[in-house]
Amino acid sequence: MPTDTNIIDGISITVHRDMSEIATEWKELQSSGLALPFQNYEWCKAWVNHGAKDFAIKQCIMCGRDQAGEITFILPFQMRSILGCQSLEWLGQQTGIACDGIYAEPFCSSQGENWFTSNMAALLLLLGPVDVLNLRNMPTTLMGRPSPLAILHQSQTANASFVLDLQADYETLLAKKRSSRSISKMRRRDERLEKSGTLTFESLRGGSATNALIEGLNHKNLQLNQTGAGVVFKDIDIKYYLQILQTQPQLLEVFKLRLNGKTLATMFGAKANGYFCLLISALAPDANLQFSPGDYLLRRTIAYCCSNQFSTYDFGFGDHEYKQVWADHRVVHFNAIKAQSFRGIAIALVSNLTELAKRKVKKNIQLRNAYYYLRKRLWASKG
């Protein structure tokens, strides 16, 4: 059951320890308001089902309503114990997703950022004892609009994301993004790939999508192993994505490129309200890279999104050059990591120093190369 209602600056606030209490309102708001796919009810529910036990999280969903009783925002938080300290986080942030709230558009237009700036401290007090504020990966923009939570944007993360505004006609978009010389070169390369065997591009559904998702995650782990990152996507991540795919397949797109029936590359991403966000792009370990199958698949997915009336293609986190070539916008993300009690000082300090080190490594090519070299050597020594 929710806590008692508290009225802050004209907005009635309730805190819910079970997201199902406001399932109907949440789903209505996400379909008409401002929200990334990862804050959809179904995404958050999948995390609760598969992350709550492993991370011992407790739901802490904050809901705001205006004087007419209409929902103005939902902030999907979780509380987690870290070394005996209560850490306030975004629901599911451990999966590396972009995190924010869900907002009614009229609220954002009329008062959103100003309201949160004036009242965030009072809001946090309603959540109970918190030792450390530990909110990660908050974007500066939300579906093209400034995030109303700018008050929480404390320190910039190491990685930005890149976003492309789609057009109905893919060829027009391609001509806008690439030179005629570059397009001619791409098409010659594509022709050689297409003549090398029977090439198929597929948007998958049902059991085929499930198998492709598992295969893609395994291939991505193999790629990351080669850089010394180890196994990044574990069983909990696979279960998380599989539940979404099996219970709410409309929230995921799974793409595969095959040559003579054999997988060359796999991509999958989240989608909602015309917004597509790429999550995983993986090459098969034995894929012939001569004709750039990864780039071929990327362009086919962009063309697919154009023809299926998507408005936005989000390339996800990472400063890879190909993203910058395509993107119209670079979206910076922020963390808010701050001690709220004496007990939380050590955790906040270590977390902030870790994030600072990541940013330094990311920005300095010598440090970055040294880090990758050491990581690879350490992983090889374990093997």
Indicate the pLDDT class of residue 150, thresholds 50, 70 and 90. Answer: very high
Residues in CB range of 326: below 8 A, 6 or more apart: 162, 164, 177, 302, 313, 315
| HEC profile of 248-297 | CHHHEEEEEEEECCEEEEEEEEEEECCEEEEEEEEECCCCCHHHCHHHHH
pTM score = 0.91
pLDDT tens for each residue of 352-378? 898 888 888 777 667 666 666 666 666
The string of pLDDT tens digits covering residues 304-359 is 999 999 999 999 998 888 999 999 999 999 999 999 999 999 999 999 898 888 88
Quote the mean pLDDT of the chain: 90
Give the ranges where the chain is alpha helix by DSSP (H). 23-32, 41-55, 105-110, 112-125, 170-177, 180-195, 206-226, 235-247, 293-307, 321-326, 345-363, 365-382
Instruction: Kindly report, residue by residue over 235-264, the tens digit of the pLDDT.
Output: 777 888 888 888 889 899 999 999 999 999
What domains can you pick out in the chain, each with its CATH number?
6-158+332-378 (3.40.630), 167-310 (3.40.630.30)
What pLDDT band is residue 49 in, cutting at 50, 70 and 90?
confident
